[in-house]
Amino acid sequence: MAEQLVADLREKCDTPVSLLRDVAAAMADEMCAGLEKEGGSRVKMLLSYVDKLPTGREDGLFYGLDLGGTNFRVLKVQLGGNDKHVISRESREVAIPPHLMSGSSSELFAFIASELAKFVTDEEKGTSLSNGKKLELGFTFSFPVRQRSVASGTLVKWTKAFSIEDAVGKDVVAELQTAMQKQGLDMHVAALINDAVGTLAGARYYDEDVVAGVIFGTGTNAAYVEKANAIPKWEGELPNSGEMVINMEWGNFYWRHLPVTEYDEALDNESLNPGEQIYEKLTSGMYLGEIVRRVLLKLSLQSAIFGEIDHTKLKTHFHLRTPHISAMHHDETPDLKIVAEKLEETLGIAGTSLETRKMVVEICDIVARRAARLAAAGLAGILKKLGRDGSVDKRRSVIAIDGGLFEHYAKFSKCLETTLNELLGEESLKFIIVKHADDGSGIGAALIAASQSQYRNVE
């Protein structure tokens, strides 16, 4: 019975190369549809209004603010132009008190501005403040916003642990700017971006061949550089650079032949956003542990594999997290000791046999492999849309990836890279490069502030 259940799971999660090529083609098609007209695709293809990415020539002092979860980060970057790049960087992480995550907009932004003001004061001690120039800040805000310009955007909805009703529909830059003024902080918000755009900018600063920035963490998203004349829904004058960074919001991608199982369907039906973010639910760190938990629960209820156990923990949604399945998946001890420990500590399942533990590792492998292979197909879709998948254009193309899933789940990132090679062919290894971009979203905000600076051409 147990073996059959795992065999069925393996079959339903199967991702042969032919299927992945179709996923990549579907992603490229959805990208085109989303660029064609507003609402033309489930993949939103939002204009970021960032038309100038950092070149490595920027110089001066810039600040970044990165708000995307229960902590936010402030950082200061001193740039030295062509030869020196980043001369120095200082940062501070601040935990947001839980009551502020569901309070009022003004309270949240007042707290952020006061911490930012403290950081600036501490950092600027003994230095003269930027010779009469206003300090400039890049703001990474990783929640859905509708942008009207590079430095304004209204909040569409909160995600993660936030639920501040009165902030929805407001311009988050104006809210931050007002809060900073109340703190007596003379600082100009030069750009509003999200973490995928920040990752793209942070990597582009060091390498002009970076074409996309991608997040595989709790959630997933991608941003890439598009030709401005390839965006039919763009209204108004085309930017001088001829380029525009597109924030794809690709977590909402869906294609009817995606390898979805009963466990995914149940997870989706019981989620806060049924029918949405299907690609994210198959590929991101928030969900992989939960999918495995659902498989283990069915296994336990339909076979005697775990013996007589208390199902309380196994029945608790999101009790098994992706770091737990990563630890089990990477267990190389001969008797799978780490798997035994995690099952007991996390799910209250003790006294498992080696055979059972091997089966648990296999389930982790099936779920993580499917995620990594679908993730690779998404990357192939972007490259295909840009004509850089090796079929015609053989220019060097770099994809910068950030996020805890990619950084810490080694079997996921390895499988993603080998799958991309499978899809594009061995030849592509010479000119298509995937690299980990550490802390892209934080430094990216400061770097975009530099490339958008109001003082950029004034010497």
Is 176 within 8 Å of 189 (Cβ atoms)? yes
pLDDT higher than threshold 60 for residue 130: no
- Strands 152-155 vs 135-141: parallel, antiparallel or unpaired: unpaired
Residue pLDDT, tens place only, 282-327: 999 999 999 999 999 999 999 989 999 999 999 999 999 999 999 9
pLDDT at 129: 52
Cβ neighbours of residue 13 under 8 Å, at least 6 residues apart?
Answer: 259, 261, 366, 367, 369, 370
- Pairing verdict, β 86-95 and 243-247: unpaired
Contacts of 370 (CB under 8 A, 6+ apart): 13, 15, 259, 282
Cα separations in angstroms, 353 against 6, 140, 288, 341, 359: 17, 48, 24, 12, 10
- Residue of higher predicted confidence among 146 and 288: 288
- CB neighbourhood size of 241 (10 A): 12
Asked if residue 156 lies in contact with residue 146, where contact means CB atoms within 8 angstroms, the answer is: yes
Torsion sign across C-alpha atoms 283, 287, 293, 295? negative
Going by the DSSP 8-state scheme, the letter that residue 243 receives in this structure is E
Q: Which residue has the higher pLDDT, 428 or 129?
A: 428
Q: What pLDDT score was predicted for residue 138?
A: 95
The strand order across the sheet containing 46-47 reads 46-47, 243-247, 220-227, 210-216, 397-402, 432-436
**Given this model, what pLDDT does residue 459 score?**
38
| Annotated catalytic residue, options 51, 66, 195, 264 | 195
Let me know if 142 is a catalytic residue: yes
- pLDDT bin (cut points 50, 70, 90) of residue 439 is low
Rg of the chain over Cα atoms, rounded to whole angstroms, equals: 23
Within 10 Å of residue 301's Cβ, how many Cβ atoms? 11
Name residues whose C-beta falls within 8 Å of residue 44's C-beta, 6 or more positions apart in sequence: 34, 247, 248, 249, 252
Of 42, 51, 66, 142, the catalytic one is 142
The pTM assigned to this predicted structure is 0.92
- Give me 219's structure tokens: 């959630």
In angstroms, the CA 362 to CA 359 distance is 5
pLDDT of residue 394: 83
Positive or negative CA dihedral for 28, 29, 31, 32? positive
Residue 109 pLDDT greater than 60, yes or no: yes
**What confidence tens digit (pLDDT) does each residue in 357-396 have?**
999 999 999 999 999 999 999 999 999 999 998 777 789 9
73 is catalytic: yes
Residue range 195-201: mean pLDDT, rounded: 94
Place of tokens 């995914």: 264
- Active-site residue, selected from the candidate residues 42, 66, 73, 268: 73
Q: Are 138 and 190 in contact (CB under 8 A)?
A: yes
Residue 110 CA to chain centroid, in angstroms? 27
DSSP bridge pairs for 402:
215
Q: Does the pLDDT of residue 430 top 80, yes or no? A: yes
Q: Which two tokens stand for residue 103?
A: 């309070």
Average pLDDT of the residues of the chain = 92
Q: Show Cβ contacts of residue 208 under 8 Å, excluding neighbours closer than 6 positions.
A: 55, 56
DSSP tally for the chain: helices H, then strands E: 15, 13
Comparing 89-93, 366-370, 411-415, which segment has the lowest mean pLDDT? 89-93
Question: Does 458 score more than 50 pLDDT?
Answer: no
Helix boundaries (H) for 245-321: 262-269, 278-283, 285-302
Q: Which two tokens stand for residue 167?
A: 């902030």
Closest among 456, 451, 439, 357 to 91, alpha carbons compared: 439
Distance of CA 169 to the CA centre of its chain: 23
**131/164: higher pLDDT:** 164
Rounded alpha-carbon distances, angstroms, from residue 413 to 386, 389, 397, 420: 23, 19, 18, 11
Q: Per residue in 53-83, pLDDT tens?
A: 998 889 899 999 999 877 899 999 999 887 7
Q: Using one digit for the tens of pLDDT, what is the confidence trace for 231-288?
A: 999 988 888 889 999 999 999 999 999 999 999 999 999 988 899 999 999 999 999 9
Q: What is the dihedral of CA 290, 212, 61, 90, to 10 degrees?
A: 30
What is the rounded distance in angstroms from the CA atom of residue 339 to the CA atom of residue 358?
A: 9
Q: How far is CA 91 from the centre of its chain?
A: 21
DSSP label at 154? E
Q: What confidence score (pLDDT) does residue 84 get?
A: 73
3-state secondary structure of 448: helix
Span 405-423, average pLDDT:
97
Q: For residues 143, 145, 147 and 151, what is the CA-based torsion angle, rounded to 10 degrees?
A: -50
Average pLDDT (200-221) is 94
**Locate tokens 């994809």: which residue?**
399
